[in-house]
Amino acid sequence: MIEFDVDKLDFSLGETLSCGQCFRWKPIEENKYIGVVNKKQICITQSDGKLFFDGVTQKDCDDWFIEYLGLDEDYSAYKRILSQDNTMKLAITYAQGIRIMKQPFWETLCSFIISQNNNIPRITGIIDRLCECFGENCDGFYSFPEAEVLAEKASDDLAPLRSGFRARYIIDAAQKVARGEIDEAIIRNAPIDEARSVLMKIKGVGPKVADCTMLFGAGRYEAFPVDVWMKKAMTQLFPCGLPEFAKPIAGIAQQYIFHYARTSGEVE
DNA sequence: GCCCAGGGAATCG
DNA sequence: CGATTCCATGGG
């Protein structure tokens, strides 16, 4: 069991895992979740200013797990920048402990292809079945299947997922990633407009899915996914657009605004 | 039956 | 270009 000190105002496990950026963590009890990352089943608990990790070593934490949870970033600095705007400051108070996770690229891309014109419970169900059918068994929970595995399948093979019209999009994305037509390094490093248009070569990937992939799965904090909620929120809260100082971390601002729009009752 | 769901492709004018 | 329509599936 690994311990990690963190103020609950600076990181909330529940807010971070349940805010719609990730679909892979199951709540077991209050402030306790189980999931699989890098083919390791992991249990995370938060209490009394501490996080407890079961299933990872200290080396795992140093190498990738702390980063996966976004705990390597200085959010007090990000919040300070965004709080120069009063509306942003208010939105942040509704979920002070949200962090943008740094999820695996392919898992993020595939998950947000599945998310299109869909609701969160069903997205989660489809992803669960995807992992059970094509992932590896990790002590009763399943890893997210590699692109190379899905690239060999036909869309009919995905019928058990009941993902509907998205099945052929998943296959196309898996093939392009497996063949190297979509290169993660380019998505991470190229100018954002170029990275976005590369992702949009995949069938079923438009601006929204591309920006979710870049923000949640490629470390691009300037990506700014706009869905139906964000459209409403931006019209009502930021009719002139985001303030200029927020743009390099627009994606972080987006997550506070998205959560505020859905939960505050102030956005109709 | 109707509506909607963290959209996008195809097909119009 | 912008505006519509269709896409599978499941829950309210």
pLDDT along chain A (268 residues), means of 10: 95 96 96 98 96 98 98 98 98 96 98 97 98 97 98 98 98 98 98 98 98 98 94 92 97 96 88
- Tokens standing for residue A92: 């942040």
Strand C within 7 A of A203 CB? no
pTM given for the model: 0.97
Whole-angstrom distance, CA of residue A164 vs CA of residue A112: 14
pLDDT of the residue at A267: 85
Residues of A 112-131 whose CB lies less than 7 Å from any atom of strand C: 117-119, 121-122
Inter-residue contact A210 to A169 (CB < 8 Å):
no
pLDDT of the residue at A268: 79
Strand B within 7 A of A103 CB? no
pLDDT of the residue at A177: 98
pLDDT of the residue at A252: 98
- Between CA A8 and C1' B9 the distance (Å) reads 43
pLDDT of the residue at A95: 93
Chain C positions with any atom < 7 A from a protein CB = 7-11
3-class secondary structure, A4: strand
pLDDT of the residue at A168: 98
Nucleotide with C1' nearest the A22 CA = B6
